[in-house]
Structure 1
Amino acid sequence: MHDAPYLLILLVIVAFALVSRRIGNSLLSLPMIFMAAGIALSVLTPGLVPMEMQQHLTQTIAEITLIIVLFADASVVKFKTLKRDVAIPARMLLIGMPLTIIAGTLLAKWVSPEAAWGTAMLVAAILTPTDAALGQAVVSSPSVPERIRQSINVESGLNDGLAVPVILAAALLAAAATGTAVEGAPENLWLFALTQLTLGPAVGVGLGWGFARLLDRAIDNQSITTVYQGILFLAVAFLTYLVAESVGGNGFIAVFLGGLTFGNCLRNDTTFIEEFMESEGQLLTIATFTIFGAVMVPLALDHASWKTVVLALLYLSVIRMVPIWLSLTGLGLSRYEKFFLGWFGPRGLASILFALLIYDEYPIPGSDEILACVVLTVMISVVLHGVSAQPMAQRFLHRAAGELPDAPRSSSPTAKPLAQDDDGSHHP
């Protein structure tokens, strides 16, 4: 039966829907369940997706999902709260992210001394960006203080674009170590980075503001239905990405800042965005992780080794958490808050996209092993961050209720308002 695989997936979706509320309160997560369903499909129906379509299909679905998730998540971040606590994500991006790449490069070189420095830096740069889709369980949890949720959201929204110049530079260095020329590589990497990090934000802010004004006018004139508000939102997200990429800017940064501007400039109710993400957005996440499990996981397991396992575990723990902890020193955060921010750096769609891009376009020795390391890291992240999301989020409620002792806070000027937030309206 050719339709057997599709019937199996549809039955899994139906079963998940019937118990979705209970699963939402358990240690399981949507990405975890549908990644497992994808792996089961690959075992039961090998060759379901033709080899020549596998990576292209995965890359396309992951890119579509990432664009929508970034735009939607950014649209619910409010400038007022972000302005008050902007130091947290700013330090994570400007201090924690470079330290993570440096530490990751040293680790990769230590695990594989024979690898070129460019290859080591490439692995580190691909595995540094965090994933908004996998962070949904934490970002949407009312148990987690708003400043912590928004910091995770902003970091995952911006670090994808910030990593691109580093990834391309590392890929060029790795290719140069073999004496191989790369077609289509930017002639001036500094100019490329400058245009990526300036034109992308400019496009995002401009389109976000412009379309928010247009939508407000349409709603005030009663010329648009609620259904088409969601469709407009979807079109603006993709339009922002494509315009930014066409002028040389970074599409992911443009999408995040476009969503941030759109959500804050829109005067009318934005409930339609949340409703969209609870339906169509969930379907895209289901498709992404099912295909990931069916296509990418078997490929990774074929090239996995002790080195890839060690790298995956360390990138998800020490290499991420220590730099983030150091970057947050002096902000008045408790030890648990810094631990939480360091731990919830899940790896997912962005890392997969970057790895596939490099795999397809850059002739780098050991590219199969690099892809295997990235996929293995994402696979472990889906499980570990999925299982730990609910218990670690609930711990904030216990701390607020006085059931757990709170760590001493710093005497920095920001300590008082941060402590007030913990006891304020962020908790039900």
Structure 2
Amino acid sequence: EDWAGISVVALAIGVFAAAQALGGSGFVACFVGGIAFRAPEATRHRLLVGAEGAGDALALMTWVVFGAGVVWQVADRITPSVVAYALLSLTLVRMLPVWLCLSGTPLPAAQKLFIGWFGPRGLASIVFGILIFDADLPGGETVTATAVVTILLSVLAHGITANPLIRALAGGRTPPH
């Protein structure tokens, strides 16, 4: 039972490798593989919980590779306009669409702002940034530098503000872990 999640990891690796070998996008293949993954609810939950540790480990490795390799490859392409756009991405560009999507909900304004501040974000930005960097597209270096700065600022800003904003949203009390 401890190894049940290996099938989910094997599915991801298998579809990624097959798509890459056929000249397609491994990332898109993994996404489609996830959509196509059909198992009875109880089995699916057990498999996904079993794969969670592997997913967390791979995500951490991605962050290490990003920090150690990608950041330094674009450091000389970071300009004031790249930083300005990255700041806009973290605030207006991300938060406004979330606010608009939540406009018809009964959520209080503080919760809408919280959701807009912390999401959507994640590993997808790294993946898409690396894809553009590797594709050698016109302007790709600027796009990659912008993605890198946005991710760096996001890690810093969201890391610093997470606990204080969670406490504020919880009415000053520390939420249970």
Answer yes or no: same fold by TM over 0.5.
yes
SS in 2 for 1:317: helix
Q: CA deviation at 1:243?
A: 6.7
Q: Distance in 1 between matches of 2:134 and 2:43?
A: 44
Corresponding residue for residue 5 of structure 2: 230
Q: Distance in 1 between matches of 2:161 and 2:34?
A: 26
Which amino acid is 2:141 matched to?
Answer: D
Per the normalisation by structure 1, the TM-score is 0.35
Q: Does the 8 A contact of 1:346 with 1:381 survive in 2?
A: no
- Bigger relative contact order (CA 8 A; separation at least 6): 1
Residues 238 and 266 of structure 1, relative CA distance in 2, 3 Å threshold:
farther
| Number of aligned positions between the proteins | 172
1:99-248 correspondence to structure 2 within 5 Å: 226-239=1-14
Q: CA deviation at 1:337?
A: 1.7
SS in 2 for 1:302: helix
SS in 2 for 1:229: coil
Residues 375 and 256 of structure 1, relative CA distance in 2, 3 Å threshold:
same
Q: Distance in 2 between matches of 1:269 and 1:251?
A: 19
Cα distance per residue 1:231-264 (max 9 Å; x no partner): 2221133345567886x794253244346x54xx
Q: Does the 8 A contact of 1:313 with 1:377 survive in 2?
A: yes
Q: Which has the larger radius of gyration?
A: 1
Which amino acid is 2:35 matched to?
Answer: L
SS in 2 for 1:330: coil
Corresponding residue for residue 115 of structure 2: 341
Q: CA deviation at 1:276?
A: 4.2
Q: CA deviation at 1:268?
A: 4.5
Q: Does the 8 A contact of 1:241 with 1:255 survive in 2?
A: no
SS in 1 for 2:107: coil
* Match among 385, 392, 403 for residue 158 of structure 2: 385
Corresponding residue for residue 35 of structure 2: 257
Q: Does the 8 A contact of 1:303 with 1:372 survive in 2?
A: yes
Which amino acid is 2:130 matched to?
Answer: L
Where do 5+ consecutive residues of structure 2 fail to align? Answer: none
SS in 1 for 2:150: helix
CA RMSD of aligned residues (A): 3.2
Q: CA deviation at 1:312?
A: 0.6
Residues 390 and 255 of structure 1, relative CA distance in 2, 3 Å threshold:
farther
Cα distance per residue 1:98-157 (max 9 Å; x no partner): xxxxxxxxxxxxxxxxxxxxxxxxxxxxxxxxxxxxxxxxxxxxxxxxxxxxxxxxxxxx
Per the normalisation by structure 2, the TM-score is 0.77
* Match among 141, 144, 152 for residue 371 of structure 1: 144
Residues 300 and 359 of structure 1, relative CA distance in 2, 3 Å threshold:
closer
The percent identity for this pair of structures is 32
Corresponding residue for residue 80 of structure 2: 306
Corresponding residue for residue 294 of structure 1: 68
Corresponding residue for residue 127 of structure 2: 353
Corresponding residue for residue 328 of structure 1: 102
Cα distance per residue 1:339-381 (max 9 Å; x no partner): 11111125443223223323333541x3222211111111111
